Amino acid sequence: MMRRWSAPMLVAVPWLVGCSYVPEDEAVGAQAVVPWEVCSADAVALGVSPVEPSERSRSMAAAPWGLLFVGDAPPTGREPWVSSGSHGAGTFLLRELVPGPEGSDPMDLTRVGDRVFFSATDPVHGRELFVSDGSPEGTRLVADLWPGEEGSFPEGLTALGGLLYFTAGDPEHGRELWRTDGTQEGTVLVVDLDEGPEDSAPDQLVPEGEGVLDFLAQDRGFSTRLMRLDVRTRHATEVFRVPSERGIQGRPTLVGRRLFFVAGGAHGEPVSLMVTTGGAPPVVLARFDEVRSMVGMRGRLYFAASAHGAGGDLELWTSDGSPQGTRRLRDVRPGREGSGPEQLVVLGSQLFFVADDGVHGMEPWVSDGTEGGTLLYADLVPGEQGSAPRSLTVTQGLLFFGATPDGATYAPWVTNGLPGGAASLDFLVPNAAASDPRGFIRSGWDLFFTATDAQGGRQLHALPFRPEPACGPRAF
């Protein structure tokens, strides 16, 4: 008898029979706590090569009408595609924005309400902002901010309060912060921090509730500033400033009302973990040689860090927003080498991450936020080799990831977070030894991911994944 992997989740239970596809925003019924589960032992190969998501560019976005993704097909090049997954209308090219093999190269797909925004390039407008409602005619240019072939190069696309905020350049203002409602008339400059054609180059946008947007900006190349924008009045306030050569590293992390960020690090100096609450002057919490992978859980920040002067001893730390409450959670690998925690994700009230304790190799670990509750979750490949988990993704109360049994090939795994709850899904894809799954994302009632085929090419797959009543007797 096959195992059943599920997790409780508050959802709208649809009155359906079997595994019919219903877009996520069309589900109807009574509110109840029901588990989501894998409905089938077979993932469906969708027959198209996707452009894979990366830290630099989001190439997939879930919408009420399906999964919008960037497909790369020889006749058209990179263009927007849409898929209903294992059921429904199917998988098809949504619109060829640039006819011919060059393609429009969509990037930074970002959902706002029932639409998806992205940047794309055409020979007339250069790289500009586009939007799609899931129909070919509704997939269109939003505004030509930099007229002609130059392009405004929209970046940092961020949803907030039903609008899209982004950074872009135009001849009059340089590169500044903009927002749009999806129409040309509703696409407006939010604030010109460096008046005239000079750039303030806003970056790393972080929504804070419905009325505030935090972001980084430059001051003529001399300083990096942490800014706080009241989106209702469009008034931006400087929260913190540091010389550009030191800078602020990466994207700040919001935990409740506290905004954590890392500053400094030039010329081998330590970096400072800092926090600001509601735009108040920031406080230095601690100094480190290195800080990585920050995530919030139950009001605390969790992150990987190497204490100042500790060399490469990278371990798991936590902070409650005070200097005295910033501490190492557990020394997983005693000594100067460190366990190297990475890929921190939150599943319910547990923190999952990948680490090497020097005995088991890189394996999944779990923490409840206490030293005693920070433990090896599963030794998937016994011995020092480890399973090297990657692409950790939480959706509907389950954690999906890829793991390798031999250091060369990867197979998909899933866990509900309970002890002994990890299970291999290596039977999902034909030629599973070469499947190498990654890029997990749920859209509607399917879990999409990319995997290699027998020829080594990467294809998009859909795995039926539904609330328990919708799976029917085929669930396992």
What pLDDT does residue 451 have?
A: 86
The arrangement of strands across the sheet holding 60-63 comes to 60-63, 66-73, 77-83, 91-93
Q: Please give the angle made by the CA atoms of 285, 290 and 295, to the nearest 5 degrees.
A: 65
The C-alpha atoms of residue 371 and residue 365 are separated, in whole angstroms, by: 12
* Burial (0-12, 13-18, 19+ Cβ within 10 Å), 44: buried
The C-alpha atoms of residue 126 and residue 68 are separated, in whole angstroms, by: 22
Contact 93, 52 (CB under 8 A): no
Q: What is the C-alpha R_g of the chain? A: 23
3-state secondary structure of 25: helix
What pLDDT does residue 21 have?
A: 33
What pLDDT does residue 473 have?
A: 64
C-alpha separations of 101 from 127, 372, 391 in Å:
17, 57, 31
**Residue among 345, 367, 343, 418 nearest 6 (CA):** 418
The pTM for the full model equals 0.90
The C-alpha atoms of residue 262 and residue 285 are separated, in whole angstroms, by: 10
* Burial (0-12, 13-18, 19+ Cβ within 10 Å), 113: middle
The C-alpha atoms of residue 353 and residue 362 are separated, in whole angstroms, by: 10
* Burial (0-12, 13-18, 19+ Cβ within 10 Å), 121: buried
- Count the residues in the chain: 476
Query: What is the sign, positive or negative, of the torsion defined by CA atoms of 68, 71, 77, 78?
Result: positive
Query: What is the sign, positive or negative, of the torsion defined by CA atoms of 89, 90, 91, 96?
Result: negative
DSSP strands (E only) in 258-299: 258-264, 271-277, 283-297
Contact 127, 154 (CB under 8 A): yes
* Burial (0-12, 13-18, 19+ Cβ within 10 Å), 351: buried
Backbone torsion region of residue 221, taken as left when φ is above 0, otherwise alpha when ψ lies between -120 and 50, otherwise beta:
left
Indicate the residue type of 411.
A
The C-alpha atoms of residue 351 and residue 440 are separated, in whole angstroms, by: 18
Indicate the residue type of 378.
A
Contact 255, 296 (CB under 8 A): yes
Two tokens, residue 460? 């998009």
What pLDDT does residue 435 have?
A: 73
Q: CB neighbours (10 Å) of residue 420? A: 9
Whose structure tokens read 């508050």? 10
C-alpha separations of 265 from 47, 110, 290 in Å:
46, 32, 8
Q: Which residues contact 25 (CB under 8 A, 6 or more apart)?
A: 64, 114
For every one of its 476 residues, what pLDDT tens digit does the chain have, with 9 covering 90 and above? 233 344 443 332 222 222 333 344 434 333 345 788 888 777 888 989 998 877 667 899 999 999 999 999 888 999 999 999 998 889 999 999 999 999 999 999 999 999 999 999 999 999 999 999 999 999 999 999 999 999 999 999 999 999 999 999 999 999 999 999 999 999 999 999 988 888 999 999 999 988 999 999 999 878 999 999 999 999 999 999 999 888 899 999 999 999 999 999 877 789 999 999 999 999 999 999 999 999 999 999 999 999 887 667 999 999 999 999 999 999 999 988 899 999 999 999 999 999 999 999 999 999 999 999 999 999 999 989 999 999 999 999 999 999 988 777 788 899 999 999 998 887 666 554 447 888 899 999 999 998 887 777 888 999 898 887 778 765 55
What pLDDT does residue 268 have?
A: 79
Two tokens, residue 423? 């299970």
Whose structure tokens read 């609008």? 163
